[in-house]
Copies of this chain bind each other. A is one copy, B any other.
Amino acid sequence: MSDIREHCGLFGVYGCDDAAERVYYGLYSLQHRGEESAGIASTDGKDIICYKGMGLVSDALKPQTLKSLKNPVAIGHVRYSTIGSSNIGNAQPLVVDYYKGKVAVAHNGQLTNAKRLREEFEANGSIFHTTSDTEVIVHLMAKPLHMMQKNLSLLLQQLRGSFSLLFLTPNEMVGVRDPHGFRPLALGKLNAGYVLASETCAMDQVGAEYIRDVAPGEAVYIDKDGIRSEYYCPQNQIKPAFCIFELVYFARPDSRIYGESVHIFRKKLGAKLAEESRVDADVVISVPEGGNSAAIGYSHASGIPLDRGFIRNHYVGRTFILPEQDRRHRIVELKLNALKETVEGKRVIVIDDSIVRGTTSKSRFGLLRKAGAKEIHVKISCPPHRYPCYYGIDFQKKGELIAANSSLEEIRRFLHIESLSYLSVDGMMSCTTQPRQSFCNACFTSNYPTPVDEETKNPCEKK
């Protein structure tokens, strides 16, 4: 499950004495969206102070420090990145000085025109400190032309690709979503103030109440006079293309994304799976945690009883460092043990949310076989993902995606299982409560919602 990576998670609080501390707890709930670095920038109305660090929220930041800040406004960020650029310099929020003073920016998504913009800036004498495409945004912001504007419209119209953004200045907090709304961003109420969050589970964490999503193409400005909304681009450029993979895989089951309950959506996936690919079996189990919600849906729909087939060792965390590379399967075995009593001599249906490279899945199903499973029928609660994402999700390289290179039968044989089914694209799309054309499912279908030119295929944040 950890083989596919979201790029980031955002959380902002406006109008709370302990804003920075609440952002800390909010980021804890968004940790699954970024484990490599965490940062919080907050303001007292004059200066902006920023703490960042590598690793998990609990390693990178100290709640004591944040607690002592007493700043009423704060934004935070958790981040993944490719190996090369995993350094503290690229951690966010990015805080810089410019003519108007200080500004902090946090970004979830991926700009497809960052490389071109960067080259233009450099040709005109600008310097860059980081390899992150977010730095382009602050350069744009500091342009005299843009500075003269009261709002960010001119700046935001320069950006292409996917971007949910939080801006923090000593006076206001701004939340922005790109015209396609690729990545989620929700608005909530917290006492007399407001919160902005990638997922609603972070709102629950701090006691905030979900109001609505920030709309595609919308910028929400929050300051001492309250909240103000603005569409920064013409309506005809607004074309929703919500990432379906957030619902299928990334978001926490206790979040609402695009106004949709993740848990219920996944239960529907399971039910649809039962409808599409029924098989006679004695028991339904899930691969925890990814398959848990869909397995409930499958069991309810099929009438085949649900039981626990794997027991997870909760002490096996990220900090586990193995003595040898070639023993990576040790982690699989340490993390999950098969429950012989559930599977021995049984025909077992296993529900999971993805197969990436296939090696981890193979080890896991092998545990079931060793525990005596008579038949193993694997059901994946989405279609095979075969295509790269240019909007902020870091799949494995194409060569490593087993579904990109092998037929269903080949994968089944590789996994040594009796049967394997994926959910159909139509089946998956039928589970949403919204028009299916509002979604981007390009990783399954290659129907990219924006033109895919060369620049898009090789975006700038590589280094």
State whether A97 touches B205 (Cβ < 8 A).
no
Chain A 263-293 interface 0/1 with B at a Cβ cutoff of 8 Å (1 = within): 1100000000000000000000000010011
Chain A 78-106 interface 0/1 with B at a Cβ cutoff of 8 Å (1 = within): 00000000001000000111110000000
State whether B144 touches A127 (Cβ < 8 A).
no
The 3 closest A-B pairs by CB, nearest first: A254-B311, A97-B128, A96-B127
- The complex places the Cα of A343 from the Cα of B447 at a distance, in Å, of 37
State whether B129 touches A142 (Cβ < 8 A).
no
Q: In chain B, what residue has the closest Cβ to A267?
A: B307
- The complex places the Cα of A241 from the Cα of B139 at a distance, in Å, of 40
- Nearest-neighbour CB distance to chain B for A350, whole angstroms, equals 16
CB under 8 Å from chain B, chain A span 41-62 = 56-58
Q: Which of A123, A254, A337, A342 is most buried by chain B, counting CB atoms within 10 A of its CB? A: A254
- The complex places the Cα of A58 from the Cα of B322 at a distance, in Å, of 10
State whether A315 touches B263 (Cβ < 8 A).
no
- Nearest-neighbour CB distance to chain B for A147, whole angstroms, equals 7
CB under 8 Å from chain B, chain A span 120-168 = 122-129, 131, 138-139, 141-144, 147
State whether B96 touches A323 (Cβ < 8 A).
no
B residues less than 8 Å from A316 (CB atoms): 28
CB under 8 Å from chain B, chain A span 415-458 = none
Q: When the two chains form the complex, which single residue of B141, B263, B300 contacts A308, counting CB atoms closer than 8 Å?
A: B263
Assembly of this chain: how many copies?
4
Q: In chain B, what residue has the closest Cβ to A122?
A: B99
Q: When the two chains form the complex, which single residue of B142, B253, B311 contacts A125, counting CB atoms closer than 8 Å?
A: B142
State whether B254 touches A339 (Cβ < 8 A).
yes
Q: Which of A204, A305, A321 is most buried by chain B, counting CB atoms within 10 A of its CB? A: A204
Between A and B, 13 residue pairs with Cβ closer than 8 Å are A28-B316, A31-B313, A56-B315, A63-B322, A63-B323, A97-B131, A122-B142, A125-B143, A126-B126, A127-B139, A127-B142, A201-B337, A204-B337
Please name 10 further chain A to chain B contacts, defined as beta carbons within 8 Å, in addition to the given A127-B139, A127-B142, A261-B341, sorted by A numbering. Answer: A21-B323, A31-B315, A97-B128, A98-B126, A125-B143, A129-B129, A201-B311, A204-B337, A263-B308, A317-B317
B residues less than 8 Å from A306 (CB atoms): 296, 306
- The complex places the Cα of A126 from the Cα of B127 at a distance, in Å, of 9
B residues less than 8 Å from A144 (CB atoms): 123-125
State whether B334 touches A28 (Cβ < 8 A).
yes
State whether B252 touches A311 (Cβ < 8 A).
yes
Given known A-B contacts A98-B126, A143-B125, A308-B263, A319 and B205 have beta carbons under 8 A apart: no
Interface residues of A (CB under 8 A from B): 21, 25, 28-29, 31-32, 56-58, 63-64, 67, 88, 95-99, 122-129, 131, 138-139, 141-144, 147, 201, 204-205, 252-254, 261, 263-264, 289, 292-293, 296, 300, 305-308, 311, 313-317, 319-324, 330, 333-334, 337-342
- Nearest-neighbour CB distance to chain B for A355, whole angstroms, equals 21
Q: When the two chains form the complex, which single residue of B99, B141, B205, B342 contacts A337, counting CB atoms closer than 8 Å?
A: B205
- The complex places the Cα of A348 from the Cα of B138 at a distance, in Å, of 50
- The complex places the Cα of A443 from the Cα of B96 at a distance, in Å, of 35
B residues less than 8 Å from A324 (CB atoms): 67
B residues less than 8 Å from A124 (CB atoms): 144
Q: In chain B, what residue has the closest Cβ to A25?
A: B334
- Nearest-neighbour CB distance to chain B for A316, whole angstroms, equals 7
Q: Which of A28, A127, A139, A263 is most buried by chain B, counting CB atoms within 10 A of its CB? A: A127
- The complex places the Cα of A296 from the Cα of B307 at a distance, in Å, of 7
State whether B128 touches A99 (Cβ < 8 A).
no
State whether B97 touches A319 (Cβ < 8 A).
no
B residues less than 8 Å from A127 (CB atoms): 96-98, 138-139, 141-142
State whether B142 touches A315 (Cβ < 8 A).
no
- The complex places the Cα of A457 from the Cα of B147 at a distance, in Å, of 31
B residues less than 8 Å from A261 (CB atoms): 340-341
- Nearest-neighbour CB distance to chain B for A245, whole angstroms, equals 19
B residues less than 8 Å from A264 (CB atoms): 341
